[in-house]
């Protein structure tokens, strides 16, 4: 089709070139005979008044023969002068349907310059296309009033290169969005016409808009689905598709079973606008503050630990080389730290979290090329959404499993002393206690060379934070995800505005979770100088005596006093195949997370 734009006009131009010696007859001569058909006055005022008649009627080679009826005017070829317009026309649906130039440009001998008057375009198109709904719309009324900003037919469909659109196709739906964005993305134009200037910005940030940006407009709502293509009316008009009387019907085209409460959703809500959307504004402020504060604290913690850890490793290596430090006797003897159930649940965490990340981050950073490539790999937003929900189910599974294990730990285990309160704040619990405060203070002193590194119990303060982050994350990201997953039910039950808040919470909490896991958690477990490049304990559940004593000396001493250290000694190690498989899996998971972290940073830097 693109080749036709250039080949056909060139061919027509070639075959319509007048023969050598063709007589150029002035219009006044022709009008002596044809004045009853062509008004001399109108022709002299037309855009073609400087063109000789034979410039268009190329079939007239000899005037005398023509006067004698021996030669006709020939086929008029507009492409002789209008090459670019002809190129567009020959690739348009009008050409395919047999619409000729004169069907639109009627009265060619009296044709006047249109001078940008959009009313003439509407009138011309209305000769063939029903335009009554358009004329009653906000666009049509503004054009009729003389506006040059409001959309007329050609602003959306162009003048000559008019595409044939198949309703429901991907190209058709993309077209519906793109033509609206041409004007509505122009903030200055919108403001001078008193139109909401952030419609495009807010749409592109929505799920519908991100799906469009990722290349899948067919799977989500586009502008005309809500506002219609031609009968665009303000919501105050009872015939408007977004009026209170019709909005449930409009939204119900996609969202089945909704009611008026669902339509309280702010389709073009702007969380920067405190006056109009206070709930969205404060939710965004609180989530942003949470994200910034968490990263500020833990990235600072990581940087201090990284530097201090390198120094400590250097000192330890020097001390061992000089004989001032003896290695732990039997330091490579393995002890159990985690059971099989812990390992299984952690594998569920890795699989589900990476699955959620690789399918969710493309929506968060829909404007990036890598996001579109990832979404294409999955087969589209619907396929990615299906994978995302499967991983969400896995997340709820390990979340409730963790609750069941906590209940078992507090109330059912027979090998632990004390009541449930003593267990809750005891050394084997993941609940924060006084020792964690002492350990945090001790680590800070160690960071600044003011003391020795503290020795930890069964759980460190950063491990406890990770554990409780899962619970917080489930309420924040899991709860908001459920609201969005079952949007029709939750929007009708609680009000559609809740979905606006859920979108902000889900998006920002996902950013916090992925950024934290891929930078902070990976450093704490694998990247710190003591463990780099990987701590394999979570995959085989084992820790060496050397690490046990150095890292969790308080736990080792407690077990030693109780005489139970040997109860945790590994009698049969995992096989080579097991170790190879899970080490490969572990490195693949870590590298995937680091790669995603770099993609996120790259997207932020690119804006």
How do the domains of the chain map onto residue ranges? 2-113, 163-254, 278-606
Provide the H-helix boundaries in 262-368. 278-321, 340-364
pLDDT grade, residue 17 (50/70/90)?
Answer: very low
Q: How confident is the model over 523-567, as pLDDT tens digits? A: 999 999 999 999 999 999 999 999 999 999 999 999 999 999 999
Lowest mean pLDDT among 26-35, 41-50, 195-204, 357-366: 26-35
Q: Mapped to the 3 state alphabet, what secondary structure does 521-567 carry?
A: HHHHHHHCCCCCCCCCHHHHCEEEHHHHHHHCHHHHHHHHHHCCHHH
For residue 465, the model assigns a pLDDT of: 96
Region 580-593: what's the mean pLDDT? 95
Query: Which of 101-115, 136-150, 273-287, 488-502 is least confident?
Result: 101-115
Average pLDDT value for residue range 576-585: 93
> Could you give the CA distance from residue 257 to residue 471 in angstroms, rounded to a whole number?
32
What is the model's pLDDT at position 430?
A: 96
Enter the pTM of the model: 0.87
In angstroms, the CA 469 to CA 477 distance is 11
Q: Minimal CA–CA distance to 58: which of 16, 108, 100, 28? A: 16
Q: What is the pLDDT of residues 458-475, one digit of tens each?
A: 999 999 999 999 888 899
Q: What is the mean pLDDT of the chain?
A: 91
Among 241, 235, 207, which residue's Cα sits nearest to residue 221? 207
Count CB neighbours of 144 within 10 A.
Answer: 14
Q: Determine the average pLDDT of the residues in 247-271.
A: 96
Q: Which residue has the higher pLDDT, 49 or 490?
A: 490
Among the residue ranges 154-163, 340-349, 421-430, 505-514, the one predicted with the least confidence is 154-163
Q: Give me the mean pLDDT over the 510-526 stretch.
A: 96
Is there a contact between 507 and 364 (Cβ–Cβ < 8 Å)? yes
Asked if 295 contacts 529 with a C-beta cutoff of 8 angstroms, the reply is no
Mean pLDDT of 258-272: 96
Among 444-453, 468-477, 492-501, which is the least confidently predicted range? 468-477
Name the superfamily (CATH) of residues 278-606. Answer: Transmembrane di-heme cytochromes, Chain C (1.20.950.20)
């Amino acid at each position: 089709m693109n080749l036709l734009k250039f080949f056909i006009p060139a061919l027509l131009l070639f075959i319509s070139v007048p023969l050598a010696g063709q007589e150029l007859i002035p219009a006044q001569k022709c009008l002596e005979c044809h004045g009853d058909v062509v008004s001399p006055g109108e022709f002299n005022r037309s855009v073609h008044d400087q063109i000789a008649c034979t410039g268009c009627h190329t079939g007239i080679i000899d005037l005398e023969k023509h006067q004698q009826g021996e030669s006709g005017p020939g086929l008029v070829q507009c492409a002789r002068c209008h090459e670019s317009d002809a190129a567009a026309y020959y690739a348009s649906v009008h050409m395919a349907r047999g619409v000729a130039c004169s069907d639109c440009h009627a009265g060619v001998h009296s044709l006047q310059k249109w001078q940008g008057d959009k009313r003439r375009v509407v009138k011309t198109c209305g000769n063939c296309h029903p335009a009554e709904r358009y004329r009653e719309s906000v666009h049509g009324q503004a054009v009729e009033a003389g506006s040059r900003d409001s959309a007329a037919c050609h602003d959306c469909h162009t003048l000559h290169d008019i595409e044939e659109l198949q309703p429901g196709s991907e190209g058709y739906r993309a077209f519906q969005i793109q033509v609206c964005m041409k004007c509505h993305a122009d903030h200055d134009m919108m403001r001078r016409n008193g139109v909401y200037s952030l419609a495009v910005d807010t749409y592109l940030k929505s799920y519908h808009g991100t799906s469009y940006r990722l290349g899948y407009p067919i799977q989500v709502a586009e502008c005309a689905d809500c506002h219609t293509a031609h009968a665009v009316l303000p919501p105050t008009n009872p015939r408007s598709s977004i009026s209170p009387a019709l909005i449930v019907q409009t939204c119900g085209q996609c969202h089945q079973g909704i009611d008026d409460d669902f339509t309280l959703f702010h389709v073009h809500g702007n969380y920067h606008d405190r006056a109009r959307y206070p709930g969205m504004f404060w939710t965004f402020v609180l989530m942003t503050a949470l994200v910034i504060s968490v990263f500020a604290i833990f990235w600072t913690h990581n940087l201090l630990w990284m530097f201090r850890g390198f120094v400590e490793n250097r000192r330890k290596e020097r001390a061992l080389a000089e004989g001032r430090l003896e290695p732990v006797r039997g330091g490579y003897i393995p002890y159990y730290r985690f059971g099989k159930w812990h390992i299984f649940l952690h594998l569920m965490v890795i699989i589900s979290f990476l699955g959620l990340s690789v399918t969710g981050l493309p929506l968060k950073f829909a404007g990036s090329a890598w996001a579109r490539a990832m979404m294409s790999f999955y087969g589209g937003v619907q396929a990615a959404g299906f994978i995302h929900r499967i991983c969400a189910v896995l997340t709820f599974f390990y979340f409730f499993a963790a609750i069941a294990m906590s209940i078992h730990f507090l109330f059912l285990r027979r090998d632990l002393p004390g009541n449930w309160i003593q267990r809750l704040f005891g050394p084997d619990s993941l609940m924060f206690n006084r020792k964690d405060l002492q350990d945090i203070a001790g680590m800070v002193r160690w960071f600044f060379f003011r003391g020795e590194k503290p020795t930890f119990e069964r759980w460190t303060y950063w491990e406890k934070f990770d554990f409780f982050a899962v619970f917080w994350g489930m309420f924040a990201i899991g709860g908001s995800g459920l609201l969005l997953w079952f949007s029709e039910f939750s929007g009708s039950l609680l009000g559609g505005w809740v979905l606006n808040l859920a979108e902000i919470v889900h998006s920002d909490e996902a950013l916090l979770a992925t950024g934290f896991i891929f930078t902070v958690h990976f450093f704490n477990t694998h990247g710190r100088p003591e463990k780099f490049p990987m701590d394999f304990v979570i995959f085989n559940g084992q820790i060496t005596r050397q690490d046990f004593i150095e890292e969790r000396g308080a736990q080792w001493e407690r077990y030693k006093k109780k005489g139970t250290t040997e109860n945790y000694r590994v009698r049969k190690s995992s096989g080579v195949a097991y170790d190879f498989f899970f080490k490969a899996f572990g490195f693949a998971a870590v590298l995937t997370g680091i790669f995603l972290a770099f993609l996120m940073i790259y997207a932020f830097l690119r804006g």
